[in-house]
Each structure stands twice: as structure tokens, then as C-alpha cells.
Structure 1
């Protein structure tokens, strides 16, 4: 019995060892070549180490300045995640103050509540919901739409502005004058944002500080790229025109990618719109053709429960589809 057990244990063990040995024999040449290449690199690196010390010091200082700049921008971004209402109004490009926004929101909520009570004839609960949505939800939704529209316009015009800066620097103009040209000749919202940078320079701020403040008003990846490039150039030097030209090409590639994603996701968005509008559309057509068939949904407690439950499920489905078809890159 013991011999049988030992035999049954030794056979799979020897098979596993043979398999591992075969795998090692096949893979060893690749690892051996890799180790030989690393050894040759280390030997050749010893010969050129003395010549590369000076260049290594310069590169290490540049890497340190880049890391410090990125760390500073990351800290500022983490500190400004909670955006105040006044900053949102600035990002939307409006001259409205927070107090005026609150007053306008309250007036809109009161107007919608009055329409719900005196014209539509809703109950108190429905009127409260309408007033809440109209006073708090609708104004902030409109404000966010204004911010997104303004940021999209800014991104669409930024590559051309960088080309203006690149051509100006190559022709001998300083960076300050190139920014002034953008503030005078570019369309909105690009002109107003760079005009703020020009005004801040007249007050004594540097170009990097002005761009960092503009990055707070326009929290976009493209704007962060520009801020990083300018900050690194001011700290460690380098060919600014080449860096901005590369950045302009990157921005155009990102815009092309965004257009491709928009075109490819158009079918999914159309399908989501059809699926979202199908249940209320069918419900409306059935109600128009045979109102008595649909009236129990509005006159009984079970019907009210079914309507609310269906609306909740529909809302969850719409949110899930919206999350699936909105691509962020």
C-alpha cells in the first residue's frame, strides 16, 4: 500500500519537474541574451560615465524642476476641487454675483411654483417638487451647461492661439507681446482669458503665475499642459517655440480623437434616446387612444405606486445609458 502511494506521488512530481525543465530550457536563451545585453551596457556605460556626468547633472536638475512643477500643480488642483459658486460664475463667463444668482434662482422657483398651482393645478407635494427643482436644480444645470460650452469653445481655439505664439517667438517677439496679440485678435472666450493674463502682468505678476490663475478659471487638461510648459521653460530654459509647437500638435490630435469618438458613439446615443423615449411615448399613445384603459394608473393607489416605480426604474436606466455613452478621455 505504501509503495503504491509513493509511486502515485512520484509520477506527477517527476512530470512537473520535467515540464519545468523544458520551459526553462526554452526560455533561458532569451533571458541570457537580456543579461548579456545589460552587462555590455554596464561595461560601455563605465567608459562614458565621466563624459556623461555634466549632462546627467543638467538632466537631473531639469527632472527635479519638472517634478516640483507637477507636484505644485497637483497640490493646487487637489486644493481647488471644491469649487465655489463665484468661481463657477467666472468660469461661465457671466458678470453675475452669487447673491444675484441666488435671487434669480428663488424668483425662478417661485414662478414655476405659481404656474404649477394656479395654471396646472398641481397638489402641494407636486408644487414643492417643482419649486425645489426650479429653484435649485434648473439654475445650476444651466450654469454647468454654460461652463461646458465655454470650455469647449476655449479648447477649440487654443491650438490656433499656440500657433500664433510659436510664429511670434520664431520671428523674435517676446512671449508677453505674443499673449497681447492673442488677447486682441482672438475670438471669445480666448481673448477675455488672455486679457486677464495681460492685466495681471501689468500689476506685476509673471506669465507663469497668470497662466496658473487662468488654469483655475479654465480647469482643462490642455490648459494644464500649457501652464506646465511655460513654468518649466521659465525655470530650466529650453526651446519654447518647439515645445509649444509640439503642444499644438497634441491638442489637434486630441480634437481629432474627440471627433472620432463622437462619430462612433452617435449610433449608441441615438439608440439610447429611442429606448428612453419609447415607454413614455407608448404610454401617451395608449392614453390618447383609450383613456379608460390608462386611468387606473392615475386614480388608484396601486396605479400611483406603479407609475412612481416605473419612473424610478426609467430614471435609473437613463442614467446608466448616459454613463455608458459618455466617453471621457
Structure 2
């Protein structure tokens, strides 16, 4: 009788998870349908508002179009719904990661990855532990993927930055302006640096100032090397000086920083791998034991003392991970 009650309870939980997943999927499908119905109009209005063409007559002489528009967006930020804020945040993250998907499309995949694997595992195995693990992995995985793509793109960008600065130096010494040097980088170099410089040139052509366009590029890439170069350009535009010589010096500095990064990465690779293996070993061993002999792991998973020990293990795992990361993360 007790076993039958437990089976019915597990079935109720499974039905509840399945229903919740279907409700979430229906909500996302409805959101996509709404987005598709008004996609063209919203895209046109968004581009016009971003450029600021509708409010061009009302601009002051000391403000550019994008600056005025962003000030108005900040005032309206409190009036935006949570859905619009999430969509805007996800759009910026996907743009920085160079993932060519719409926010609603990626959100659909995110929700499916969150619910479907965990629901299937629970329906067939009724293992709550693996269900919770898959729920956590499905919820965190898409965000981790975005961040990994951003870091990968940032590394490629930083490896191209030295050559881009040298191209700018050559263009300036030949008599071209810095904006023309930016256009040369956008035409002659490969992605992602060509994409970012082309986007900055487009913003300048649409009315934004050069300083603002470069600052937006720094906000997208989040690279300290790019921030150094952009700061130097901004200071030179305000105070004057030999910009070609400044960019050449910054290019040499960034090249040396890249060499130091490579040396540090090689020296600390063993420590990072050791930390990864030591941190993953208890988790992997616990999963294997739970698969091979579930009765052996029941006291750990079903008793209050076992729950306390599991919580202590999690705390120690996090402390050990942070300690190893602090050791191998060298600032330079």
C-alpha cells in the first residue's frame, strides 16, 4: 500500500512537471506568435527610434542623436514591462556573443532545454536526484553557453587588436582620418573585429559621436585592451597629440600583454587542471555510486544527517573552487 501511494505521488509530481513545462511552452509559443505578427513594425520602429530620426529636429547642438535617445530610454525604463526588459537584456547578450538568433527564439530553446530532459528522465526513471541535476543544468547551460561564446569572441578580438592598431597608425601617417582608418579595418580585416568596427562606423554615420560609438563597442566587447586604446583616442581628441605614435605604443603594449597572458596560462595550466579534476571527482564518484548501488547512497539522500553532509560537501566544494581560482588567477 505504501509503495502504491509513493508511485501515485511520483506520478502526480511527473504530471505536475509535464503540465508546468507545457504551460511554459505555450507561453513561449504565444510570445513568438505575437513577435512574428508585429515583427516588421517593431523592427522598423526600433531602428528609427535608435537612430533618432523622428526626434532629429528637437536635438540640441551639443548632443548627438543616440545620446538623446538613450536619455529618453532611461526615463522610460521604469515603464517597461519585465518581458521587454528580459528581451532587451537577452538581445544585448546575444549581440555581444555574436549569436545570430532573436531573443524569443533563444528563450524558446532555453525553456525546452530546462523542462524537456528533466521531464523525460523523471517520467521513465522517477529519480528525483537526476531530475534536479538536469533542471539545474538546463537552466544554467544556455547562459553559460552565451558567456563562453562572448569570452571566445573577446579572445579573438584581442588577438586582432594589435594588427588593427597598426593599420590605424599606417592610415593616419598616410593622411587619412581616424574614422577612415576605422572603415579600413572594417573592410580589410576579418570578424569579429571587422564586424565591431563596421557597427561603430554605422553608428557614427547615423549621427552618434565617435567617442560614444567607441564607448559602445567597449561595452559590447568588455576588453581591457580595447578600453586602453579607446581611452587614448578620446584623450587625444580632447587634448591633441600625435595619435599615430600613441596607437603604435599601445599596440606594442598590448602585444606584450598577450605574451604575458600566454606565459601565465602555460604556467598555471597544471594548477587549473588539478583544481578541475579534484572538484569534479567527488561529484562524479557520487553519481557513479548512485547508479551502481542506489541502496548504498540512500542514507546520504534520504536522511537528515545525509542532507547536512551533502550541504557541507557543497560548501566545501565551492570554497575549494574559489581558493584554487584565486591562486591561479594572476592579475597583470
Cα drift, residue 199 of structure 1:
1.3
Summarize the alignment of residues 311-322 of structure 1 with structure 2, pairs less than 5 Å apart: 311-322=314-325
C-alpha contact 1:297 1:307 (8 A) present in aligned 2: no
CA change 1:210–1:281 in 2 (3 A) is closer
Q: C-alpha separation between the residues in 2 aligned to 1:312 and 1:205?
A: 49
C-alpha distance in 2 between matches for 1:278 and 1:326: 22
Question: Aligned partners of 1:287, 1:226: CA distance in 2, in Å?
Answer: 54
Instruction: Confirm or deny that 1:93 pairs with 2:95.
Output: no
Of 118, 132, 135 in structure 2, the residue corresponding to residue 131 of structure 1 is: 135
Task: Tell me: CA distance 1:94–1:159, structure 2 relative to 1, closer, same or farther (3 Å).
Answer: same
1:205 aligns with 2:203: no
Matching of residues 28-47 of structure 1 within 5 Å:
none
Contact 1:162 1:248 in 2 (8 A): yes
Give the number of the structure whose alpha-carbon radius of gyration is greater.
Answer: 1
Pair 1:236 & 2:228 matched = no
Does the residue aligned with 2:98 lie in a helix, a strand or coil?
A: coil
Deviations along 1:146-166, one digit per CA (max 9) or x if unpaired, are 111111111111011001111
Could you report, residue by residue, the CA deviation over 1:134-154 in whole angstroms, capped at 9, with x for unpaired residues? 13x111111111111111111
Bigger mean CA offset, 106-115 vs 182-191: 106-115
Aligned residue among 248, 260, 265 for 2:263: 260
Q: Structure 2 unaligned runs (5+)?
A: 1-73, 75-87
Equivalence for 2:157: 154
How many Å apart are 1:321 and its aligned residue?
2.0
Report Cα offsets for 1:34-86 as digits up to 9, x if no partner.
xxxxxxxxxxxxxxxxxxxxxxxxxxxxxxxxxxxxxxxxxxxxx9xxx9333
**Count of residue pairs the alignment pairs up:** 246
Match of 1:180 in 2: 183
| Cα distance in 2, alignment partners of residues 321 and 120 from structure 1 | 36
Pair 150,119 (structure 1): closer, same or farther in 2 beyond 3 Å = farther
Once the two structures are superposed, residues 72-127 of structure 1 have per-residue CA deviations (whole angstroms, 9 ceiling, x without a partner) of: xxxxxxx9xxx93332222111233333332221111122222321344323x753
Alignment of 1:34-73 (within 5 A): none
In the other structure, the counterpart of 2:219 is 216
- Which whole-Å deviations, capped at 9, do the CAs of 1:163-209 have from their partners, x for residues lacking one? 11111212222222221111012111101000012212322334333
Q: Residue 84 of structure 1: which of 89, 109, 119 is its match?
A: 89
Match of 1:117 among 116, 122, 146: 122
Which piece of structure 1 moves more, 260-269 or 148-157? 260-269
Taking structure 2 as the reference length, the TM-score comes to 0.64
Displacement, 1:315? 3.8
When normalised by structure 1's length, the TM-score is 0.65
Aligned to 2:198: 195
Q: Residue 3 of structure 2 corresponds to which residue in structure 1?
A: none
